[in-house]
């Protein structure tokens, strides 16, 4: 009978292999592995900033590129494609492409924020060094609000004239589920919610408050704090949002906090 | 009768009376007789004489006891002797002993002993049977399961198990003859002597396929199998000469189809694409997301999955058999890899015995086949140019801003060249008649314990384009060790392949060159610009020969593949068997290309870029494969039931690693090692990728047959793969099949000339997971070239799909196999319907999700069709070896798209939209001033995917032809109205590219060592959009050479009924039904003649077998369509001479 035991042993070789099927790519990082350590969160956050600086978003289209052409800041007479853009002829190839690019890239950055937020929300403050949990969480919330705010300004009807305009969706999760389109009012509520949360997280701990530490810091993650979604940026954004919806008092109070 | 004593004096009649009396006395006095008999037998005898004749012994015994012995002289021969050593034993004991030694028996009748021979019936009851064991193999030594082993003139018999082994209890008497038979083999008679262990080799009856179905994991008996398979033996492969394996297989099975590649022609380095039973993936679109060609079947070599390339480069002489598994019953055990069919290849195993050497060799001559090209010659070309207005000032398309005088001068200059006899046939310039060769050596031998095989081969395949070729080197060591129950096998195999692409570049460059130019100047130096200094011609033609012949550019790749397979086969009991296999393989591939600093590419480089001239690109790929499986099989044969159950498990891992870079800055092309490069290409970075995938699966296969009449098959497999999404990591597959061997039914036995008739039906599922390794998972990638301040970050690379799974195909198959007139006519037919579900495609998603698309399973495709194969042997004379046979096969496949994804719908719309934009642009721009626009013009059939249509549908606008009055094409709009304007809205299906019927037919004739065979390939009922006519006749650009029809069949004046529009009409011609032609073709794919030298002659050369052969490939081709084939690489005809020697 010993033969048969060996046979059975052979067959058991094939039973436990579910772990074996989890492969890890070398040239890219699986989402779960990315958020295994604090470094991953930092890298993902920097990734968001890097993406925002790309030409399709703030490195072009949203600054000196498309929006400035729309604002008639250039003389584009000799460039027929850009002329179409300047003439707001959105059905032509170039304007259509630019608009698609803005929409797609903005939401791609938002997806990156959401992936980060989704993971950090499942973590505890203690598992991060110093105040990094607050910083990363707050910055990504702030960025999400910032991006949506610009999308709102670009794609929705002006708030003061029509706050119930159904426009952009406010995407808060990274998944295959499509988010519903919201009215401007609802979107503003989301933006304010994210900003308030971010503000609460940063209040009192943002290194920018300790004026000289920002440049002398030995921690590269904290260097150049002014280039980040810091507490003042959040407050300034809250002021802009308040101004946008016509709440001038609130706008003034936030603006004053920044100026002072 | 002879009675010792006074009996013999009595006359016969009285003797008879006496006997009758005795019998009645016997009946009456049975008790007393018993008594008297025991008394009689109890008498003591004493005899010490050793070997002694039986008669003498009886005499002696009579003398001692006074007992009469009665026997027939016939039965107790004088020569019959016994060893008589009776010391003080009873008469009974003495007689018993004597009977034991001989085949006699005794009876006590009255006071005498009757000696007779033992009758048979009693013998069998009394005697122990002896057990006969044996193994039945085919002529190659491969086991033959299901062969019947029967004792002659009795009903005692068994059939062999999967290893061809049998055990049979036979009567233990003298001469027993057993008959061993199996369908397709000659019946063999064997006299059983003292030897109880047999090895029986059956010779094939005719050209009948082996009766085993090789599934890769285990073998099945074919007669009880319900799946559809096609097997090709090594003899059949041998007949075809030195062609690659794929080309060889396709003439044996119509459903195994090499997709005709009109672009790559006979490029020795171009891997063919293969489809079994139609295509199930969206061409063009899905290929970028899927790995390679997803219609490719899975290849299994000696039990392990290998790449198609490995098969492409295999030494064909080493192949023992190829089995194509097509339907669910056959492929379900391969689960998630089986949807496109499985091709199982087994290599030859060494045979025991003293060392045998087999040497194969061939010389292959290839000639370019340019018969599909019908170009204008110099004179005609000039005439066409004149007519097309090349030399008219109004025609800015060709002559820029030249004035009429300059144009006239240009014409006259060219005319002068033509008149002086310049007519360059550019097509022939990069071509050659190539001579390749192949040598393959195999050594084998061993004894019953140990066997060895050594193989070595070299195959130099030289292409017809100068400088192109593929050299294959292969070496292998095979060792096998047999113990009583366990067989160990190990095969180490090393392949080295070196491939070179032609420095002459793409063949289509030569097709365009004008024949009135010469490649060399008057001194015979190669010129760089053709027609240099011509005023008025603003299209400069460059001489591609200049680049090819002056510089040492190269583009080559090579790989080494090392593979070791180990297998342990343990026969636990005669029914139970455990087999374990493990394989490890590593492949190092390297691709390099070098462009000389002097090359045309670098002309016009600025001085500061001096050190960037010349480039060298290297790309290295390492592939590691691990594969192991364990198979436990059970085979039981009792009464009329045969059960075969197999349980198996497998794990597989595949890892690819690639890196590459480009270096620039070479001084000259002699210094062409990467070491001489000055720098990496500016602004470039190293490239590369990595991917790892793993698979684990287990399967169960069950086969049952009752009385070899009713057959039943069931199998299932569960696969897990790392490629699937998190939520879908195990994939179940199954199949059920049933069959009926009607020829074994009483009512059909030997009736209606019927020798065999088998019906089968099966259905089941199989999968395809031929997609990229990391498609299901969400990953981050680090941005290496972007920084934010002093920090670098990582971003999401793609949106994964946790639900991503295998494509699954539900296949159904009905089959019939019929043999008539003792298998002289054989018909095999199959009908199938395969539905592929969950096709992997890219799905468009709302961009607000952050990504525009992701991969999902969406889309259904149906493939429905039938296959038919008929084979006939009008002459099959075994005595003189004369055989005449014919065969024909046919395949029909209809492909229907059942469901498509939203992204494919969007793709359809986008294509139409792009066409509209392109036409708009054409109208906007003054096209005649912008030659570059030509490259952007779409004249091909528009690829569209519509539900209900086929994947091979040809979309074009319907056309009425050329209006004889105006010379303009008239189109039919979708609403039926007529127009002169081509519009993408009017695209409809105008044809079907897949042929209705296609297949092969051919025949063979064998006689006295001569063997001739030939195969034709035919295609019927398909259509083709004749791109040659569109591009090279209608849209012919007269600054380059064109098809003859451009000059000859064009509309010229009102009233001309011609197929093509006016030569001066520069409007772009796009795909319309005018160019759709019926695509029927007939090709004589090969003719082979071989001669095997008579044995005595071979022996006189101290060789055991010598065979010579001549093989012709692609001898001639007829097609209803005149179209240019072999665009980037021409087609070739091949003639080979082969030699096979055994010693």
> A51, B795: Cβ pair inside 8 Å?
yes
pLDDT at B928: 45
Hey, which of B67-71, B268-272, B355-359, B926-930 has the most confident mean pLDDT? B355-359
> B688, A27: Cβ pair inside 8 Å?
yes
Q: When comparing pLDDT for B59 and B109, which is higher?
A: B59
Hey, which of B262-266, B450-454, B634-638 has the most confident mean pLDDT? B450-454
Distance separating alpha carbons of residues B187 and B957, to the nearest angstrom: 65
Q: What is the DSSP string of B307-367?
A: -HHHHHTS-GGGEEEEEEE-SHHHHGGGGGG-TT-EEEEEEPPPPSEEEEEEEEEEEEEEE
Report the candidate in B940, B935, B912, B771 with the shortest Cα–Cα distance to residue B855. B771
Strand bridging mode B641-664 / B679-680 = antiparallel
Report the candidate in B510, B554, B573 with the shortest Cα–Cα distance to residue B666. B554
> B781, A93: Cβ pair inside 8 Å?
no
Residues of chain B with Cβ-Cβ distance to A22 below 8 Å are 722
Closest Cα of chain B to A167: distance in Å? 12
Query: What domains, with CATH codes, occur in chain A?
Result: 36-213+220-259 (1.25.40.390)
> A115, B796: Cβ pair inside 8 Å?
yes
> A48, B793: Cβ pair inside 8 Å?
yes
Q: In DSSP terms, which residues pair with B437 in a beta bridge?
A: B363, B460
> B793, A28: Cβ pair inside 8 Å?
no
- Tens digit of each residue's pLDDT (9 = 90 or more) over B787-845: 777 778 888 887 777 777 778 888 888 988 888 887 788 898 989 988 888 777 777 77
pLDDT at B28: 42
Please tell me the least confidently modeled range out of A83-92, B145-154, B941-950, B1102-1111. B145-154
Q: What is the DSSP letter of B1060?
A: B
The tokens 């067989």 sit on which residue? B487
Is B466 a residue whose pLDDT tops 80? Answer: yes
Counting residues of chain B whose pLDDT is more than 70, the rounded percentage is 88
- Res. B34 pLDDT band, cuts 50 70 90: very low
CA distances from B662 to A234, B590, B601, B674 (A): 47, 14, 15, 9
Residues of chain A with Cβ-Cβ distance to B848 below 8 Å are 103, 107, 168-169, 171, 178-179
Round the average pLDDT of chain B to a whole number and report it: 80
pLDDT at B27: 43
pLDDT at B143: 76
Is B760 a residue whose pLDDT tops 50? Answer: yes
> B580, A10: Cβ pair inside 8 Å?
yes
Total Cβ atoms within 10 A of residue B195: 10
**Which phi and psi (to 5°) does residue B144 adopt?**
-120, 100
Q: Which of A20, A27, A175 is facing B694, going by the closest CB pair?
A: A20
Q: When comparing pLDDT for B727 and B290, which is higher?
A: B727
> A23, B845: Cβ pair inside 8 Å?
no
Protein fold of B126-201: Immunoglobulin-like (2.60.40)
Distance separating alpha carbons of residues B993 and B283, to the nearest angstrom: 13
As given in the structure block, the two tokens for residue B1055 are: 């009233």
ipTM of predicted complex: 0.83
Residues of chain B with Cβ-Cβ distance to A48 below 8 Å are 793, 795
* H-type alpha helices, B519-660: 544-550
- Rounded to an integer, the average pLDDT of B373-386 is 84
Residue of B645, B803, B850 to mutate, interface with A, max A Cβ within 10 Å: B850
Residues of chain A with Cβ-Cβ distance to B649 below 8 Å are 11, 13-14
B2-118: CATH number: 3.55.50.30
Residue of B622, B626, B793 to mutate, interface with A, max A Cβ within 10 Å: B793
pLDDT at B290: 42
Q: Which of A21, A31, A103 is facing B696, going by the closest CB pair?
A: A21
Q: Which of A3, A51, A220 is facing B790, going by the closest CB pair?
A: A220
Q: Which of A10, A20, A30 is facing B696, going by the closest CB pair?
A: A20
Q: Say if pTM beats, i.e. exceeds, 0.80.
A: no
pLDDT at B491: 92
Distance separating alpha carbons of residues B1069 and B982, to the nearest angstrom: 9
Residues of chain A with Cβ-Cβ distance to B777 below 8 Å are 25, 30-31
Is B751 a residue whose pLDDT tops 70? Answer: no
- Rounded to an integer, the average pLDDT of B996-1019 is 89
Is B483 a residue whose pLDDT tops 90? Answer: no
Domains of chain B: which residue ranges?
A: 2-118, 126-201, 247-351
CA distances from B1093 to A141, B776, B878, B1097, B1108 (A): 87, 61, 18, 7, 8
The tokens 């200049």 sit on which residue? B546
Residues of chain B with Cβ-Cβ distance to A224 below 8 Å are 789-790
Distance separating alpha carbons of residues B1117 and B266, to the nearest angstrom: 14
As given in the structure block, the two tokens for residue A242 are: 């308040």
CA distances from B38 to B32, B110, B116, B939 (A): 10, 11, 20, 114
Q: What is the DSSP letter of A148?
A: H
Residue of B568, B796, B800 to mutate, interface with A, max A Cβ within 10 Å: B796
Distance separating alpha carbons of residues B990 and A125, to the nearest angstrom: 67
Is B861 a residue whose pLDDT tops 50? Answer: yes
- Rounded to an integer, the average pLDDT of B354-369 is 89
Residues of chain A with Cβ-Cβ distance to B689 below 8 Å are 27
Sheet holding B68-71, edge to edge: B2-3, B68-71, B112-117, B104-109
Distance separating alpha carbons of residues B585 and B628, to the nearest angstrom: 12
Residues of chain B with Cβ-Cβ distance to A34 below 8 Å are 780, 794
* B23 contact partners, CB below 8 Å, separation of at least 6: none
What H or E segment, with its residue span, contains residue B1047?
A: helix B1045-1048
Report the candidate in A76, A112, A122 with the shortest Cα–Cα distance to residue A95. A76
Residue of A47, A148, A155 to mutate, interface with B, max B Cβ within 10 Å: A47
As given in the structure block, the two tokens for residue B408 are: 């006239």
What is the three-class DSSP state of B703?
Answer: strand
Residue of A9, A17, A23, A226 to mutate, interface with B, max B Cβ within 10 Å: A23
Residue of B484, B690, B791, B921 to mutate, interface with A, max A Cβ within 10 Å: B791
pLDDT at B121: 47
Distance separating alpha carbons of residues B485 and B802, to the nearest angstrom: 47
What is the three-class DSSP state of A235?
Answer: helix
Distance separating alpha carbons of residues B679 and B666, to the nearest angstrom: 9
pLDDT at B982: 84
- Rounded to an integer, the average pLDDT of B200-207 is 64
Locate the chain A residue with the closest alpha carbon to B689: A27
SS (H, E, C) B762-796: EEEEEEECCECCCCCCCEEEECCCCCECCECCEEE
The angle, 0 to 180 degrees and rounded to 10, between the axes of the packed helices B12-28 and B30-41 is: 100
Give pLDDT < 70 ranges for chain A.
Answer: 1-20, 211-218
Q: What is the DSSP string of B916-976?
A: HHHHHHHHHTTGGG-TTHHHH---SPPP---TTS-TTEEEEEEEEEE-TTT--EEEE-TTS
> B796, A112: Cβ pair inside 8 Å?
yes
Burial status of residue B874 (CB atoms within 10 A of its CB: 0-12, 13-18, 19 or more): exposed
CA distances from B1061 to B1052, B1055, B1115 (A): 8, 12, 35
Locate the chain B residue with the closest alpha carbon to A55: B786
Locate the chain A residue with the closest alpha carbon to B774: A25
Locate the chain A residue with the closest alpha carbon to B791: A46
Is B21 a residue whose pLDDT tops 60? Answer: no
> A28, B781: Cβ pair inside 8 Å?
yes
CA A59 to chain CA mean position, Å: 15
What is the three-class DSSP state of A63?
Answer: coil
- Tens digit of each residue's pLDDT (9 = 90 or more) over B957-1005: 888 888 888 778 888 888 888 888 888 888 888 888 888 898 899 988 9
* B140 contact partners, CB below 8 Å, separation of at least 6: B234, B320, B348, B351
Distance separating alpha carbons of residues B818 and B741, to the nearest angstrom: 10
pLDDT at B450: 87
Is B401 a residue whose pLDDT tops 80? Answer: no
As given in the structure block, the two tokens for residue A107 are: 């939401």
Closest Cα of chain A to B304: distance in Å? 17
Q: Which of A10, A26, A54 is facing B630, going by the closest CB pair?
A: A10
Closest Cα of chain A to B930: distance in Å? 19
Residues of chain A with Cβ-Cβ distance to B801 below 8 Å are 176
Distance separating alpha carbons of residues B604 and B462, to the nearest angstrom: 36
* B138 contact partners, CB below 8 Å, separation of at least 6: B144, B185, B201, B202, B204, B210
- Tens digit of each residue's pLDDT (9 = 90 or more) over B872-882: 988 887 777 78
Is B77 a residue whose pLDDT tops 80? Answer: no
Closest Cα of chain B to A110: distance in Å? 7
Locate the chain B residue with the closest alpha carbon to A27: B690
As given in the structure block, the two tokens for residue B226 are: 């319900």
> A223, B632: Cβ pair inside 8 Å?
no
* A260 contact partners, CB below 8 Å, separation of at least 6: none
Closest Cα of chain A to B519: distance in Å? 44
Q: What is the DSSP letter of A209?
A: G
Q: Which of B790, B794, B849 is facing A178, going by the closest CB pair?
A: B849
The answer to whether the CB of B343 falls within 8 A of the CB of B300 is: yes
- Rounded to an integer, the average pLDDT of B64-78 is 77
E runs forming strands in chain A: 29-30, 166-169, 181-183
Altogether, the residues listed in chain A come to a count of: 260
Q: Which of B578, B630, B692 is facing A23, going by the closest CB pair?
A: B692
Residue of A111, A144, A170 to mutate, interface with B, max B Cβ within 10 Å: A111
Burial status of residue B301 (CB atoms within 10 A of its CB: 0-12, 13-18, 19 or more): buried
- Res. B564 pLDDT band, cuts 50 70 90: very high
- Res. B5 pLDDT band, cuts 50 70 90: very low
- Res. B268 pLDDT band, cuts 50 70 90: confident
Q: When comparing pLDDT for A90 and B567, which is higher?
A: B567
- Rounded to an integer, the average pLDDT of B1082-1099 is 85
Strand bridging mode B176-181 / B1076-1092 = unpaired
- Res. B400 pLDDT band, cuts 50 70 90: low
Report the candidate in B910, B843, B927, B933 with the shortest Cα–Cα distance to residue A96. B910
* B18 contact partners, CB below 8 Å, separation of at least 6: B10
């Amino acid at each position: 009978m010993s033969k048969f035991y060996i046979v059975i042993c052979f067959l058991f070789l094939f039973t436990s292999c579910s772990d074996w099927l989890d492969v890890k790519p070398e040239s890219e990082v699986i989402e779960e592995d990315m958020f295994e350590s604090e470094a991953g969160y930092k890298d993902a956050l920097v990734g968001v900033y890097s993406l925002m600086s790309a030409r399709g978003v703030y490195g072009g289209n949203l600054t000196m590129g498309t929006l400035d052409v729309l604002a008639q800041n250039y003389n584009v007479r000799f460039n027929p494609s850009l002329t179409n853009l300047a003439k707001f002829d959105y059905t032509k190839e170039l304007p259509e492409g630019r608009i698609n690019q803005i929409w797609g890239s903005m939401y791609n950055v938002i997806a990156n924020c959401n992936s980060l937020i989704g993971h950090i929300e499942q973590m505890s403050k203690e598992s991060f060094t110093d105040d990094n949990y607050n910083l990363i969480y707050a910055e990504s919330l702030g960025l999400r609000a910032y991006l949506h705010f610009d999308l709102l300004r670009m794609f929705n009807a002006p708030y003061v004239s029509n706050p119930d305009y159904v426009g952009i969706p406010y995407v808060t999760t990274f998944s295959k589920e499509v988010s519903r389109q919201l009215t401007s009012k609802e979107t503003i509520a989301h933006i304010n919610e994210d900003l308030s949360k971010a503000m609460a997280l940063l209040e009192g701990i943002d290194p920018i408050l300790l004026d000289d530490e920002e440049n002398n810091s030995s921690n590269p993650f904290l260097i150049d704090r002014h280039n980040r979604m810091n507490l003042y940026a959040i407050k300034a954004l809250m002021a802009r949002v308040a101004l946008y919806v016509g709440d001038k008092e609130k706008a003034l109070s936030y603006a004053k906090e920044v100026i002072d | 009768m002879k009675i010792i004593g006074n009996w013999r004096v009595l006359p016969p009649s009285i003797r008879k009376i006496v006997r009758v009396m005795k019998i009645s006395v016997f009946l009456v006095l049975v008790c007393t007789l018993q008594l008297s008999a025991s008394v009689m037998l109890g008498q003591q005898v004493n005899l010490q004489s050793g070997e002694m004749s039986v008669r003498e012994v009886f005499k002696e015994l009579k003398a001692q006891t006074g007992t009469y012995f009665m026997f027939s002289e016939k039965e107790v021969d004088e020569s019959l002797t016994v060893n008589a050593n009776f010391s003080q034993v009873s008469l009974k004991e003495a007689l018993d002993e004597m009977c034991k030694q001989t085949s006699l028996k005794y009876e006590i009748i009255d006071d005498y002993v009757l000696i007779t021979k033992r009758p048979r019936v009693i013998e069998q009851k009394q005697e122990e049977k002896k057990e006969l064991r044996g193994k039945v193999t085919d002529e190659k030594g491969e086991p033959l399961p299901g062969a019947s082993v029967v004792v002659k003139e009795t009903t005692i018999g068994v059939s062999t198990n999967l290893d061809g082994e049998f055990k049979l209890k036979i009567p233990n008497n003298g001469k027993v003859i057993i008959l061993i038979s199996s369908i397709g083999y000659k019946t063999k008679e064997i006299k059983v002597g003292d030897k109880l262990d047999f090895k029986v080799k059956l010779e094939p009856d005719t050209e009948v396929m082996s009766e085993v179905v090789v599934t890769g994991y285990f073998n099945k008996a074919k007669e009880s199998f319900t799946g559809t398979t096609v097997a090709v033996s090594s003899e059949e492969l041998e007949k075809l000469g030195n062609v690659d394996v794929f080309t060889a297989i396709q003439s044996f099975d119509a459903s195994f189809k090499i997709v005709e590649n009109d672009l790559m022609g006979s490029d020795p380095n171009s891997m063919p694409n293969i489809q079994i039973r139609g295509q199930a993936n969206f061409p063009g679109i899905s290929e970028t997301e899927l790995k390679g060609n997803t219609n490719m079947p899975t290849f299994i070599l000696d039990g392990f999955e290998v790449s198609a390339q490995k098969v492409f480069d295999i030494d064909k002489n080493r192949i023992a058999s190829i089995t194509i598994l097509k339907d669910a019953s056959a492929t379900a055990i391969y689960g998630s890899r089986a949807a496109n069919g499985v091709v199982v290849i087994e290599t030859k195993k060494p045979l025991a015995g003293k060392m045998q050497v087999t040497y194969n060799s061939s010389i292959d001559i290839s000639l370019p086949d340019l018969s599909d090209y019908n170009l204008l010659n110099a004179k005609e070309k000039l005439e066409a140019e004149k007519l097309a207005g090349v030399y008219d000032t109004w025609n800015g398309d060709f002559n820029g801003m030249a004035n009429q005088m300059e144009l006239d001068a240009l014409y006259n200059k060219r005319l002068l060249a033509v008149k002086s006899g310049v007519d360059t046939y550019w097509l022939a310039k990069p071509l050659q008649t190539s001579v390749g060769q192949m040598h393959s050596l195999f050594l084998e031998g061993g004894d019953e314990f140990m066997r060895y095989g050594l193989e070595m081969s070299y195959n130099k395949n030289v292409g017809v384009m100068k400088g192109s070729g593929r050299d294959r080197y292969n070496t292998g060591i095979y060792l096998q060790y047999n113990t009583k129950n366990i067989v160990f096998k190990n095969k180490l195999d090393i392949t080295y392949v070196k491939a070179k692409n032609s420095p002459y570049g793409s063949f289509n460059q030569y097709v365009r060159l004008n024949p009135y130019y010469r490649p060399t100047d008057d001194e015979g130096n190669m010129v760089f610009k053709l027609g240099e200094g011509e005023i008025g011609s603003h299209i400069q033609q460059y001489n591609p020969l200049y680049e090819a012949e002056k510089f040492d550019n190269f583009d080559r790749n090579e790989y080494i593949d090392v593979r070791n397979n180990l297998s342990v086969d343990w026969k636990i009991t005669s029914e139970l068997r455990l087999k374990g296999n493990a394989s490890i393989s590593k492949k190092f591939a390297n691709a390099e290309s070098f462009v000389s600093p002097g090359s045309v590419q670098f002309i016009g480089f600025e001085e500061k870029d001096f050190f960037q001239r010349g480039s060298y690109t290297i790309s290295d790929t390492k592939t590691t494969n691990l594969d192991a499986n364990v198979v436990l099989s059970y085979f039981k044969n009792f009464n009329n039931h045969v059960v075969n159950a197999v349980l198996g498990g497998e794990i597989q891992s595949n890892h690819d690693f690639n890196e590459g870079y480009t270096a620039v800055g070479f001084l000259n092309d002699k210094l062409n090692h990467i070491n001489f490069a000055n720098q990496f290409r500016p602004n470039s970075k190293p490239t590369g990728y990595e991917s790892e995938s793993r698979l684990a699966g287990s399967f169960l296969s069950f086969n049952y047959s009752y009385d070899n009449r009713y057959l039943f098959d069931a199998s299932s497999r569960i696969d897990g793969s790392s490629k699937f999404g998190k939520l879908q990591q195990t994939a179940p597959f199954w199949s059920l099949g049933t069959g009926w061997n009607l020829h074994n039914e009483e009512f059909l036995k030997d009736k209606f000339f019927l020798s065999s008739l088998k019906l089968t039906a099966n259905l089941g599922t199989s999968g395809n997971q031929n997609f990229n390794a990391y498609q299901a998972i969400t990953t981050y990638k680090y941005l290496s070239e972007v920084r934010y301040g002093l920090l670098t970050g990582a971003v999401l690379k793609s949106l994964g799909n946790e639900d991503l799974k295998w494509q699954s195909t539900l296949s159904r198959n009905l089959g019939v196999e019929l043999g008539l007139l003792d298998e002289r006519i054989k018909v095999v037919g199959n009908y199938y319907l395969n539905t592929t579900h969950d096709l992997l495609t890219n799905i468009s998603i709302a961009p607000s999700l952050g990504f525009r698309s992701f991969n999902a399973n969406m889309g259904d495709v149906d493939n429905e069709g039938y296959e038919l194969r008929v084979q006939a042997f009008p002459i099959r004379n075994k005595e003189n070896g004369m055989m005449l046979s014919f065969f024909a096969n046919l395949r029909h496949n209809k492909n229907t798209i059942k469901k498509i994804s939203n992204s494919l719908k969007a793709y359809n719309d986008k294509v139409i939209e792009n066409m509209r934009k392109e036409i708009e642009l054409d109208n906007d721009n003054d096209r005649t001033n912008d030659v570059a626009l030509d490259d952007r013009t779409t004249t091909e059939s528009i690829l569209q995917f519509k539900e209900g249509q086929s994947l091979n549908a040809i979309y074009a606008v319907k056309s009425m032809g050329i209006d004889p009055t105006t010379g303009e094409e008239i189109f039919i709009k979708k609403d039926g109205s007529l127009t002169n304007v081509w519009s993408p809205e009017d695209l409809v299906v105008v044809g079907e590219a897949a042929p209705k019927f296609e297949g092969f037919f051919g025949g063979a004739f064998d006689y006295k060592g001569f063997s001739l065979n030939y195969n034709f390939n035919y295609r019927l009922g398909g259509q083709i959009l004749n791109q040659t006519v569109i591009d090279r006749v209608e849209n012919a650009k007269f600054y380059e050479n064109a098809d003859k029809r451009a000059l000859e069949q064009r509309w010229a004046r009102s009233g001309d009924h011609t197929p093509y529009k006016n030569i001066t009409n520069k409007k772009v011609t796009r795909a319309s039904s005018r160019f759709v032609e019926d695509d029927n073709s007939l090709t004589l794919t090969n003719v082979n003649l071989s001669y095997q030298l008579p044995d005595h002659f071979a022996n006189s050369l101290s060789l055991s077998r010598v065979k010579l052969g001549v093989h012709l490939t692609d001898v001639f081709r007829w097609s209803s369509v005149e179209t240019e084939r072999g665009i980037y690489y021409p087609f070739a005809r091949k003639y080979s001479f082969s030699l096979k020697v055994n010693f």
